[in-house]
Every structure is written in C-alpha cells, then in structure tokens.
Structure 1
Amino acid sequence: VQGGTLADRVTGGPLPVRDALRIARDIADGLQAAHDSGIIHRDLKPANVALTPAGKPKILDFGLAKEFTSSSDATTLVGATGAGVVLGTAPYMSPEQTRGLPLDKRSDIWSFGCVLYEMLTGSHPFTGLSASDIVVAILERDADLDALPATTPARVRWLLRRCLEKDPTNRLHDIADARIELDEALRNPEATSGGLPAIATPAIRHSVTRERAAWLTAALALTALVVAMMYGRGRALDPPPGAVYRSAILLPEELRLLALEPAARFALSPDGRRLALIASSATGVPTLWIRPLDSLVAQPIAGTEGASYPFWSPDSKSVAFLARPADQPLVGMQAKLARVDLAGGQPVNLADVTFSATGAWSRDNVILFTKSGTSPLFRVSATAGGVAVPVGKLDTESGDVQHSYPAFLPDGRHYLYTAVGSRAGANNPRAVYVASLDGTEPPRQILDAGSNARYANGHLVFLREGTLLAQRLDMTSLTLQGEAVPIADRVQVTSTGSSGGPGAFSISDTGLLVYQTGLQVRSQLAWMDRSGRPMGLVGQPADYAEVALSPDGSRAIVSAMDPQLGTRDLWIIDVARGSRERFTSEPSDDYAPVWSPRGDRIAFTSVRQGSTDIYERSASGSGPERGHNAARSALGKFAASWSPDGGSLLYIAGGRALARSDLHVMRMDADGPPTPYRESPFIETQARFSPDGRSVAYVASDSGNLEAAAKFSSYPLTRPRCFRHLYRRREHRLGSATRSHCLKFACARLAVWMPTRTMSPSMAASS
C-alpha cells in the first residue's frame, strides 16, 4: 500500500478531528470483517495501519492474529510463542492482554480506542518510561479524556470511555457499534451528550500519589530478564547463545507490593523457579508470598505477617526474612531475623535485629545480616540461631556508617558487602568490598560507587545510579576484569536524597534476573475541605512529591520529577491560574521546600557535591542561593518548618541508613552551628512549628509506632520541657497550620486534629 502508515501521520501531531473520525470508522470496518470471520488481530496500532494515497486505511500485519471460534485457541496467547511471553505492543495492549489472560474481540476494541485517542491527541493514552511503566498505567490509570480537542463530539467521548473500560464485561462488545457511533458523529458533529448513556465520572479523577514510605500499585509489573552471558550449560532455563528475553511479571489484582525499601520487596530463588514477595492483600498487612514463575498464583506463608527483606537458602527450600509485629512495619523498631521452611511449619526466630536490611545465606548455613543502623555485619546459624557475633568492623576513618547487603561468593568462604557512608547524609553506598568469613584476609575494596552487588556465573552484578551493570569477576584473584556492561536502566532505587542507593533487583544462580523499574507516577494537586470533600483541582498532573502553600495561600511550591533528566526540581504554582514556573534547575534532586513567614524566601533541601544540605533563595527566583552547609556532619539536613519570626529553621537530621533521625534548629538570620532540639535513638521527623511559635509537633517512633506527638517549649526555642501525645495512630506525615491551632495528618486518609482550646506549655504540662 502506497502512502505510508498511520504512525507516520500521527508523528506530526494530532489529526484534524474529522480526519481522525473518518479513519477510525474505516478501521472499524476492517476489524469488523476480521471479527466476523472469527479472527482477532491482537496487535492493532498505528504502525499496522497503512494509508493509501487517498487516505484510506488498510489494516496490516495479522502475524499475531488468532482465531477465537474454538475455546482451545482462546487460551494460547502465552503458550503459543514461548512460556511466559506476553505478545503485543505495550501502549496498545488491553489489560487482559498484559496479564496473559484469554482474549476475545474486546481486546481489539481496547486497542482501537487507543488508536483513536492517539489520532485525536497526538499521544498515547497510557504512557511510561519503560514497558513495565506502561503496563502499570494500563492496569491502574484512566485515560485523560480532558486532553481531547474541545471540538470532539460528545458521542466520540462516550465511545472512547466504552472502548477503554478496563473490565471487558463493561467494554463495548462489538466493533460494529463503534462504526455506527462514528458514522453518526461524522453526520452530526455538533451533537451534545443528550440521549447518550450516562457514565459516572468522579469529580476528581483517581490519581496515584507518591507516598515515600510504602504503597505501590496493585498490579505492579516486575521485569524478568534472562541474560545469556550469565548462563551455565545444562540449566533448566538455558537459552540459545546470545539471546536475551524479557517478560513482565504481574501480581494478581488483589496484591500490592508493600515494603519501605525497593530492595525489601522481593527475592528470586537460587534455582530461578520461585519469587518471594512482600505483599499485602485486603488486610493491608505485609506478608511473605511465594509465586512460582510457572504459575499465575501466589500463596501467602502462614505466620509471616509483618515480614520484609526476604532472602533464600541455597537449596531454594527456605526463606529468611526480617520479622516484626504486623502493626509496626517501620524502621527503628525491635525485630527478629526469622526463617521459614516452605515445606511447612511456623517461622523460627534466629536473632534480634534493630535495623531493616537484607541478608545472605551460605551453603554451610551461616547467615550474614546487618544488626543495627550503625553496625558491621553479624553472623548467626541458619539452623540453630542464637547470639549473633560481629564479622569485621566499621572503617570509621573512611566514613563507614554500616555494612549491609551481603552476598556469598561460590566458594562459601568469601562474601561481598556494601559499605554505607554518610557523605550524602542518607543511605549512601560508598563502595563494595570482598572479605573472608574466617577473617584471615582483610576486607578489600572491589568496586567503587556501587551497591548491593551479587555474583552470577562469573560476573558481578551491581547497581550504580539506577543502572544495573555486570562485570566479569576473576574468582582466583577476586578482581574485576574488563568493562562493566549495562543490563537494565531506571531500576527502582531507595529515594532518600542520597547520591545512590540500593535497588529492587534479584538474580538467580541460573542467570534469571528480576528487577523493578522506577515508576513515572502522575498525580494531581487538589483542594479539599477539612471533611475531605473535594473543592477543585490546581495545575496540571505531574509526578509531584512535597507541596507547600505560601503564607497568603496564593502560591504553592512543589517538588516534581523531570522525566527527561530523572531528577526532582522545585516549581512554583500560581494557585488561581494553575500556571507554574521553575524555581530550581540544578542537575540534582531538590525537595522539602519551606516558605518563610512573609512568603518572600524559600528554604529547601538539595543533594550537591555528595552532601544533602539546606539552601535558601528569594521566592521570586532572583538573586543567588545561600547554602546552609557550614556544619557538615554524618547527618543529611531536610528542611521542615520556618519559625513565625523568620529567625530559625527547624530541620530533620538523619536518614534510614542510621535507622534514626533527630530534630535540629539553625539560625536563618545569623551564622553559627545548629542547635539540637530532639536527639534520641529513635526517629523524629515531620516537625512543624505552631502558628504562635511556642510549640512544635512532630512524628516520633519512641512509643513503638510512628505517631503524632507534640513537644512544647518556650520561645526562643530551647530543649523541650514537656511532652504530650496528640494522636495515637501510626501516621507518616504532618501538614501545617498558618492561622489556627490545627494539625493535618496525611496517611491513608486525611485527618485533622483540632484542640478545643488554645494550647500552651502550662496546659500541656498539667494534662
């Protein structure tokens, strides 16, 4: 067919509405002919639609097409071309197609809706940085119909909603109905929605917010990557030489990956046959689940509620994990290192732990793990448990804060570990070392600027700045050979404001690699009243994190991800108009913005030159920045709250690498060292000044949960004299109040606490 493809046409932008509807009607004609013959296409997309010189579409490439008249054919999507392979082109795949479920003609109708949307808007309805991101978008998010041209007939909007219904039972059942609707829209383009079936739409479209602590989407896609260079001969999954296979691993709809750190969410068994997952069902409690890779069913393991950081025994028959009470899945609590045999039986506690990190299990049943946030590795028997003993010691002169992420080498005597430093004030992997279990050889640095390294078939696989790399390892000299080769990029890593962090990947002895990609999440800013009722939207959707309102409420500053650079910048949004203006543009992560009381200056946290510090500049964006980094320490500094008189800034010092964080105050109107406000072995975070400057509220873990607590003190700020709990529920974030005595708590729900009378230090002391 002469004239190019529809993909060539939409590359230049959206088509005129009438042209798009005419082409869509003719595509519907072609699909109807195929469906009437019992054929589904399964890969409908603009690249598979040729255009004649007259602009007439012709559907091409029925290479993935299958007859659906027999029940046996309907189930061959996954098995027809190879086990575990989901066929199709990600942006146009139906939800059931991404899951490898049986298909019928309604899957083509979904793809048709995607093509029509793209013709009208010039973009895909479901986007992402990788195929896994796109799959997540398809399963969890709605197409933005507000992006359609204003001249799009209401009938076509209704048609798109019906074509893009995620549940096939609610989707348009026959493509002939789409052709009829398009014909009507072409004949009567000015028609309104009168007479059309009603489709309920919420006042504010569902959006996924980035809660730093835990939740990921229910149908999160992991990626399985089989790399031929890591294969040995005779393995169960031995591919042809040089082959690389990728496939998405989707969780059942009722499960959510639930773990604070990306590295704590899953682990692949050494034999490459099963995946251990930390996930939750309707209960919301993190539990150990086991998913065989040759099955779509995951099974929970009894007695593992509250589990995290799973790792396997060498024989793939048992799983060790961090066990803590199910209602205390937080950093800094007392926990246990436990083991469970998958053949049956209850978990067995092996050792006490006060820090969250993964471990390693040797062929001689020795387990290495990180006992606390400021410790070297410890060892304990995997069978008997008992008192754990340290292995090695911290090199504090080089900046070690802890040793973590151990991994045994094939000889069972040597092991790898990541030395975590404090240069960036959070979880900052400094280097990877190799050491001997018997201590006869001193630890030796084997890799600079990498984390959670693993051995696989003659290679060291490690993470560096979100990219997964492999480099040949000589087992005789224990040295790296040649150059590191990238395997995968945009791997999900710990987001702590550090210059690098451990990430979500696991590799088997057979060379199967499973990793989770970083998600590009679009969220929407919205006004809500104190009862939680939506009042309106602010600005455009983006990948937002922190948001702070100016004192007069006219502006908001947000931290938003730059999808091209992969870093966070600060933007100021005009609340009334919804327009936004860039506030920072450094090639680093900028976040935790705080307004001055007069709204003329903004303090924020940024990671620069390997250190997490606080910076300040005019809210107008003019003039130089001022760095508050004179007092560098092992703790990063995260801006929290500006005092009402403008003289002091309350900030959080610490990070998850230390399993603790403290509260400090720095003077903004004079130089000098910061003053500690609250120091303890626990976590104190999300601090806020009261509007009168006489009190401070913050989230603390000293009671066993992170809950809202208030410390009252005189002003100017000194050490707190008395203490009172405000809200005895586990919460993650405090909002702020500008003119009234109220606190907002942000967790699964928005809650507002309002005292019935004005607080004062004397009242708190007597209560």
Structure 2
Amino acid sequence: MLGRDVAIKVLPDEFAQDTERLRRFQREAKLLAALNHPNIASIYGLEQSDSANYLVLELVPGETLAARIARGPIPVDEAREIASKIADALEAAHEQGIVHRDLKPANIMLTPDDKVIVLDFGLAKVFVDETPNADSSMSPTRLRQGFGEASPDGTRVGVILGTAAYMSPEQAKGKHVDKRTDIFAFGAVLFEMLTGKRAFAGEDVSETLAYVLTKEPDWRALPAETPATLRQALRVCLTKDSNRRAHCIADVRLAIDGEFETTTEVSSPPTGWRPSWAVAAALALAAVTGTAIWNLKPEAPRPVARVSITLPDVLPAWVNQVMAISPDGTRVVYSANNQLYVRAMDQIETTALRGTEGGRTPFFSPDGEWVAFWSQGTLKKIPIGGGAPVSLCDGQGRWGARWGADDTIVFGQRGVGILRVSADGGTPEVLVPVEAAGEVIYGPQVLPGGNAVLFALGDTNSTWDEAQIVVHSLDNGETKVLVEGGRDARYLPSGHLVYVRDQTLFAAPFDVDRLEVRGGSVAVVEGVMGYRSNSGAAQFSVSDTGSLVYVSAGRLVNRALVWVDRDGREEALTAEPRMYAFPRISPDGSQVAIDVRDRELDIWIWHFSRETLTRLTFGPGVENHPTWTPDGRQVAFSPEQYGIYRKSADGTGSVKQLTEEMRTGPYAFSPDGDRLVISLRDPGGSWGIGVLSQDGTVETLLSTEYNERNAELSPDGDFLAYESDESGRYEIYIRPFPNVEDGRWPVSSSGGTQALWSRDGQELFYLAPGGELMATRVRTEPSFTSGKAEVVFAEGIYYTNPLMRTYDISPDGERFLMIKEVKPDGASWTELLLVQNWFEELERLVPTEN
C-alpha cells in the first residue's frame, strides 16, 4: 500500500494455535518495533490473514555475514568495522532491555552500501520450532521443557533457545539468560570472522554443545596481526563463567574500535587476561583524553588456597561418598548423623536438609539446584534450598552415581552394570551391562558429548586399588582400558582424568574426543581417603570452577566396640579400634563374631574374657554378615551376598557351603538349627526374606513390590521380626514363623529399623530414624501384642548401616554392644580440606593442550 518492498515471515501453525504464546509475542513485537537504529532491521507489524499469522519485516538487500565468511577469513580491519556496527546494534537493544538470544552470522546482513544490519532481534523465542538447516550444529536448538517456574521475561527456565555453535554455556544448560549471552555470541561471531572457522565446531548439536561447555577456542588460529586489545576483547567475551565475562557490549565496542590500544603491542597475551569492567566508564573517559589505557595487563594466576572446613557434625566411617561440592563451588553437602547437611562456603553455620533422613552418597545436579542421594534403597532428590524429597527409583546405593547434562542420572548396580534413569524419575534402563560374573562397576560418568561413559571396573576377588579405569563407547559398545590400578575416576572441565590409588589422587591429560589419556599420570594430592573395602568410593569432590574438597586419609573416623547399659553409660572394650560392622554375640555370651572392613575384609572373633581378636575367615573377597548356630559352635557368613557358608567358630576344619543361591546372606537360625532365615534380593534390587533348609533348598517367605529385610527370629522360633517400607518408610512388623501369612502386626509407628529380640523373648528393640534405641514389651500368648515403645538411650555417636543390624544385646539383657565412631589420635574427624583455585595448580603439575 505504501509502495515499498518488505519481507514476510509466516509463523508456525502451532504458534498461532497457542493463544497465550501469540498474545505474549504481540506484546513483545510492539517493543521490538520501537527499536529505531541504523544497524537493526525494522519490524513493521504482526498481521493475520485467514488462519495465517505473519510478521512484516524490513527487506534488507545484500548477503549474510555467513555467506561472506564462507569465502574465507575477513581481514582484521574490515572485521573490526563490521563487529563495531554489530556491537552498536546490540548496545541499542540492550539499553531497551532486549536480548537477541540467537546472534549468528546468518542473522547479520551486509548491504551493497556497506551497512551492517542485524536481523531477528528477540525472535529466537518464537521460531525455535522452525525446520533446522542441514548443518544441525548451526540450527536453532530447543531442548527439553524445564520443571522450573517461568522467569520474569516469560521464558521458562530449562528451555534452550538459540543456535548451538553460538550459545553461551548458561544458554546451553537451559538457564535464564541476559545480555551476557549476546556478548558470548558476539565473541563467537567475531572469532569466526577473523579465522574463517567457528569457535566451537562440532559435527552435530550434541558435540557442539559439549564444546561450548568444555572447550576453549583455538586462539592460535587468530591472525598474527590481531591487536592485543582485540585478542583480549575476544577472551572476555568468550569466558564461560558469565560472572567473569564482559558485562557491557559498549566496553567491548570501544576495545574493538582501538580506543584502549597503546603504542606497545603484545603479540599473544596469555590465557587468563580480563578487563576490570568495574572501572570501564572511567577508562573510557581517560581514553578520550589519550592519557589512560584499558586495563588489559595480564591477570596473575589466582592463588591456590588451602583451608580446612570445620563441621559441627561427625563424618561417618562409611563406605560410600560422604560429601560433594556444588558445580559452582559455593556449597558442600555432606552426610552425618544419618542425614544430609549443607554448608555454604561464605557462611559458618550448616543447615540440615530436612527430609533426607537416612541419606547417603549425595551428589549435585549440573545447575547446583538439586541434591540427589540414596536413602534406604531408594534414589531421591531434594532442592538445595529445602523442600520435599522426590523419589526417583529403587536400587543399590553404594556403587556411585552422576547427574548428567542431559538431565539423566547414571549409577552402578552390582550384578547388573550401569543403569540410567530420568532425573524426573521412572524405570531405570541398562546402559552398560556387566560382561562377566564377579565384575563390579563404580562411579559411572557420561562424558561430554554423551557418547561414552567413564567408570572404574573391579571384581569381587580384588581390591578397588587394583581396579581398571575404563571408558565405554555408547556408539560401538567397545570398552577401552585407560589406567591399570585405580578407583573413583572423574573427568574434569580442565581436561584432566583424575582417580585415586593408594590414598593418592592422580591426574593425567585426557582427550575427551579421542577417549585417550595423553601422557602419564602424576600424583597431585596425597592422603585422600579411599576405602580398601567393598566400595570403590574415594572421598574427594571437584567443582566445575576448580575447587577441590576432600577428606584426609588420616582424618576419617575409626570404630570402637563399647558396652552401653540401659542408662546410656558406656564401657569401652579393649579391642583395637578398627572398621567394625555387624556384631553378633555368641549364644553363651563369651564371644562376638564381627565383620571387620579395613584390612583383610573378613570375619573376626573377639573373646571377651581373654580379650583377643582372632581372624576366622580367609577368603579372597569380602566376607560378612556373621550368624551363630544355636549351639555356638559354628558361624555362618556370606561372601558379599554370593552364597552362604559355615565354619567352626574355633577356626578349625574346612569351610562348608550351605547354598549357591546368589544375592543372599544369613539372618538367624531356628532354635533347632534346621533352618536358616536368609535375605533374598531380586535382580531389580528389592529385598525379600527366605528360609534355607538343611538339604539346601530355599523357600521364599516374603517377596513383594516393597523391601522386606533384617529379619530376626524370636528365641522360641515362633515369630519373625523384620522391617518393611510398604508404608513409605521403614517400620517394624511381626509375623508368625514359618507360616508368615497367618498374621501380621505392626510394632513401630514413627519409623524403625534393625529389630532385635531380647534373649527371653519379652522385649523387642529397634532403631528409630534419629538413631535412638527403642524398646517395647511384647507378649506372644495367646497371640502377639506389643506395648508402647520407649527410648532406651539416645546419647552417643553410634555407627549404623541400613543393610544389617549394627548392634547386639548381652544374654542378661542389661547391656548392648554398640559400635562407636572415634577419631584417630591427634586427628580431627570433623573437617573437610578445601583447595581453592586448584585447577591453577593442576594445570601447572599436569599441563594439557587446552
């Protein structure tokens, strides 16, 4: 009507059908139309014809910057001129609060009269569903819908808008974006103009996003004549940490225009330079007078600082990971007192995470907003700021887990391999199966790009220090050994592979593209706690920002055996403090069989009167769960839940195998010794209860969709006490034995585990969720009844393990044998060691190619 040529952009049909989305864009289009700048293409209106909605845009003649770059690199002076005009356009938009979100060479026009016009301001939020270009790494990308609330600008956090090759790291993670995202994209465009190749060049979207998150551009590709200030402008634009990136495009434009250049040129400034943006305005004014320069002097390496973090709680002597540091290095979450706590680095106080009772093995989500953990056989997550925990799936919790960038969690499972489950919950899928009997996997981590998994591969007949560090390709299924001898491997953003062996942290350069270790391993931190027992865990954690936190090998607690009477008074045994677990007092009360998990990982016998500790089992692997025969002459045990064996308590004679049943362990013999109540575990990880007869046959007693475990027979053999999570938490129940379907009586009402009968059968004990020892009077005639539960004692710090009972009662019923966690002489047991800016030291000790 006005006689001018225009461009028409038709909106997708699904867009037009979304009333709220259309209304929101109409509001935003009015704001965009108000932009009046010579370097910004105008929006004339949003129109509708029949069912079609379309934008009326300025028709800009010429070629795209992408077409110009396709012919080769642009000379430095010409590139500076183009970049200055692009920055001018961004500056005008940012002043209006408008973020482009999809700046790239294809959205920049070069006109015949040497104008530079930026297209599609603010439209990335609208056209994310357009058909992608042939090169998927250059296509607008929209990943999954987030579960967070909408941000103030109407964009939901968790939705990735933009083009992969030019996305900022925070944009690639689906986080809220601001003008610093445009500055990152601007730096990527300028780098491409000068070099003729993309700063982050992957073959597809996944690989490109991985490069954006983990790789640095090839700074050597910049032309030799590139001025130092221009090089530095690129570096501060492409800094991955948005807090250290340039905050204002106007300052970048001044640098590009040469306002801060001095007469002394530096050909190639070292990595790590950055401008002091806080004084940008003053420097700009000084530049006009010709008396000052931009603050581009090399930034000194950040000092490596070592500090200890004193905790108000005792770290448990536990075989799993006891702590984790958040990706941004601002928080530490740790397990203590049978729950999780959070400590912010800038605060003295710690905060208990309510709802994490029984929580162990914590690890963070990639954005640091959630903590995942295992609790009583269930994988859960909870907001770091507090809230209700969310159950994700069932499984074993001691084989390591990682939360990936694709919002899935991978974790190891004995006898199965590596499983993967959505961070929103669901049914786990097998990602990497174990290939041979006895193989055990710990600590899987999906590497950047999502095409390979790193983990430690051990077996039941060796220690974890003898395990292999391997990488498994998800593309071709091949497994490659990277390191012989090591545990708990991690790939770090610094480009290093780290792992622990002999309580020493080692590092090696790692090429994540070729899945190869480049160079030998170097010992970088000594004295990192790593257990010799049946867990591949090592007690260290590294943030994406380069902070290391770990537990010193000399600072973790040990365990002592103590008698505790009904008034809570303690009497320590003279037995040497060791890693004791699962004590079982003999029928006559003269000895205790106990699992020791530090040196030989075997069953030992402590004789109370002689005060001697004698080794009972000598198998090559882990042997645990001791159970006395009624006559006190033999002890049954399980070699890591693979079959059940029996041996004379005096150590004489040979070991007799009672059953080859896998995934099982002994609980209690019937009074006549003819039957043994045992644990059963299905391949999915659920616990059940069975009975083993003398002829070796196994009968299932309880096997449901819930977990039933820690069974104990009454002294007369007529009743079975056990714990079940059928109510949503573990409670104590009683059933008749062996006819378990003839009755069922709940005992606890506020949570309970690890039931134990008194020797006279008139009391039942169990542990409350807070660790208190509870007791209730019971009667079995004419039918079972129980009284009100009372606290026996609550004071002291006693070791617990959800898998088996960790205490026992004396024959007279007046004392309880408990395991108390104690510190080694001269060592602190409430400290974590923090190394800040550790990546600086790591790169010095183990240089990489980055």
Q: Could you tell me how far apart the structure 2 residues matched to 1:583 and 1:349 are?
A: 43
RMSD across aligned positions (CA): 4.7
- Structure-to-structure mapping, 1:725-740, within 5 angstroms: 725-740=746-761
Change over 3 Å in CA distance of 1:421–1:290 after alignment to 2:
same
* Distance in 2 between residues matched to 1:386 and 1:557, nearest whole Å: 43
What are the equivalent positions in structure 2 for 1:24-103 lying under 5 Å apart? Answer: none
Does the CA contact (< 8 Å) of 1:708 and 1:727 recur in 2?
yes
Deviation at 1:369, TM superposition (A): 0.5
Residue 277 (structure 1) aligns with: 333
Aligned match for 1:621, one of 651, 659, 669:
651
CA distance in 2, matches of 1:577, 1:540: 11
Q: Are residues 1:368 and 2:408 paired?
A: yes
SS at match of 2:595: strand
User: In the alignment, which residue of structure 2 is the partner of 1:474?
Assistant: 511
The yes-or-no answer on 1:595 pairing with 2:640 is no
Do the aligned partners of residues 453 and 645 (structure 1) sit closer, same or farther apart at CA in structure 2, a change above 3 Å counting? same
CA distance in 2, matches of 1:689, 1:387: 36
- Give the secondary structure class of the aligned counterpart of 2:558: coil
In the alignment, is residue 749 of structure 1 matched against residue 772 of structure 2? yes
Q: Distance in 2 between matches of 1:251 and 1:759?
A: 56
2:320 is the alignment partner of 1:297 = no
Offset of residue 472 of structure 1: 3.8
Which aligned pairs between 1:203-214 and structure 2 lie closer than 5 A?
Answer: none
Q: How does 1:261-660 map to 2 (within 5 A)?
A: 262-263=320-321, 265-270=322-327, 273-278=329-334, 286-287=339-340, 289-292=342-345, 295=346, 297-298=348-349, 300=351, 311-312=363-364, 318-322=368-372, 330-333=375-378, 337=381, 352-355=392-395, 358-362=401-405, 366-370=406-410, 377-378=419-420, 393-395=431-433, 398=436, 405-409=443-447, 411-418=448-455, 434=471, 440-442=475-477, 444-446=479-481, 452-456=488-492, 457-463=494-500, 468-481=505-518, 484-485=521-522, 492=529, 498=534, 500-509=535-544, 511-517=546-552, 519-526=556-563, 528=565, 531-532=566-567, 534=569, 538-543=573-578, 544-560=580-596, 566-586=599-619, 588-607=621-640, 612-628=642-658, 630-631=660-661, 633=662, 635=663, 637-654=664-681, 659-660=685-686
User: Which letter maps to 1:664?
Assistant: G
- Superposed displacement of residue 619, structure 1: 1.9
Q: Which runs of 5+ in 2 are unaligned?
A: 1-269, 274-298, 787-850
Distance 1:425 1:591 in 2: 16
The one-letter amino acid of 1:506's match is S
Measure the CA separation in 1 of the matches of 2:748 and 2:559: 31
Q: How far 1:478 sits from its partner (Å)?
A: 0.7
Structure 2 counterpart of 1:331, one-letter code: Q
Alignment of 1:624-703 (within 5 A): 624-628=654-658, 630-631=660-661, 633=662, 635=663, 637-654=664-681, 659-667=685-693, 669-670=694-695, 672-703=696-727
1:466 and 1:654 map into 2 onto residues whose CA distance is: 33
Letter in 2 for 1:733: Q
SS in structure 2 opposite 1:743? Answer: strand
CA distance in 2, matches of 1:707, 1:425: 36
Distance 2:704 2:467 in 1: 26
CA distance in 2, matches of 1:733, 1:426: 29
Amino acid at match of 1:646: G
- Preserved CA contact (<8 Å) 2:461 2:621: no
Summarize deviations over 1:364-387 as a string: whole Å, max 9, x none.
xx222048967965475xxxx868
1:249 corresponding residue in structure 2: 308
Structure 1 residues 310, 368: closer, same or farther in 2, change over 3 A? same
Bigger mean CA offset, 486-495 vs 571-580: 486-495
User: Matches of residues 214-229 of structure 1 in structure 2 within 5 Å?
Assistant: none
d(CA) in 1 for partners of 2:496, 2:718: 58
Contact 1:460 1:472 in 2 (8 A): yes
The SS at the match of 1:693 is coil
- How far is 1:648 from its partner? 2.0
Deviations 1:9-46, CA, capped at 9 Å, x for gaps: xxxxxxxxxxxxxxxxxxxxxxxxxxxxxxxxxxxxxx
Query: Is the 1:330–1:705 Cα contact (8 Å) retained in structure 2?
Result: no
Counterpart-to-counterpart distance in 2, 1:659 and 1:427: 22
Q: Secondary structure at the match of 2:778?
A: coil
Residues 567 and 395 (structure 1 numbering): CA distance in 2 closer, same or farther, change over 3 Å? same
Larger Rg: 2
**Cα separation, partners in 2 of 1:472 and 1:696, compared to 1, 3 Å:** same
Per-residue CA distance 1:618-654 (angstroms, 9 max, x = gap): 12222122233533x3x2x332212211122222234
Change over 3 Å in CA distance of 1:422–1:646 after alignment to 2: farther
Q: CA separation in 2, counterparts of 1:425 and 1:710?
A: 39
- How far residue 719 of structure 1 moved from its aligned partner, in angstroms, is 5.8
Contact 2:469 2:481 in 1 (8 A): yes
Cα distance in 2 for residues equivalent to 1:520 and 1:336: 27
Cα offset, 1:587, TM superposition: 5.7
1:103 maps to none
- How far, CA to CA, are the matches of 2:703 and 2:465 in structure 1? 22
3-state secondary structure, aligned to 2:749: strand
- Return the offset for 1:604: 2.2
Kept in 2, the 8 Å contact 1:420–1:429? The answer is no
1:231-289 CA deviation, whole Å, 9 max, x = no partner?
A: x964999589xxxx895633332x455898732x4323445x42321357xxx784552
Asked if the contact 1:471–1:482 (Cα under 8 Å) also holds between the matched residues in 2, the reply is yes
**Aligned CA distance change for structure 1 residues 552 and 403 (closer, same or farther; 3 Å):** closer
Cα contact 2:317–2:557 (8 A) shared by 1:
no
Distance in 2, matches of 1:378 and 1:420, equals: 17
Partner residue of 1:5?
Answer: none
Deviation, structure 1 residue 597: 0.8
Kindly indicate whether the alpha-carbon contact (under 8 Å) linking 1:735 and 1:746 is maintained by their aligned counterparts in 2: no
Q: Structure 1 residues 540, 332: closer, same or farther in 2, change over 3 A?
A: closer
Secondary structure of the structure 2 residue equivalent to 1:745: strand
Which runs of 5 or more structure 1 residues have no equivalent in the other structure? 1-231, 324-328
Q: Render the CA deviation track for 1:331-361: whole Å, top value 9, x for unaligned.
A: 344x654555x8xxx7799994445564334
- Please give the alpha-carbon distance, in whole angstroms, between the structure 2 residues aligned to 1:538 and 1:258: 20
Aligned partners of 1:746 and 1:403: how far apart in 2? 32
1:485 and 1:759 map into 2 onto residues whose CA distance is 70
TM-score when scaled to structure 2? 0.47
**Equivalent residues of 1:711, 1:724 under 8 A apart:** yes
Change in CA separation of 1:732 and 1:599 when aligned onto 2, cut-off 3 Å: same
Change (3 A) 1:488 1:654: farther
Question: Secondary structure of 2:748's match?
Answer: strand
Once the two structures are overlaid, the 10-residue window that deviates more, 694-703 or 611-620, is 611-620
Q: How many angstroms apart in 2 are the aligned matches of 1:615 and 1:752?
A: 32
CA distance 1:449–1:400, shift in 2 (3 Å)? farther
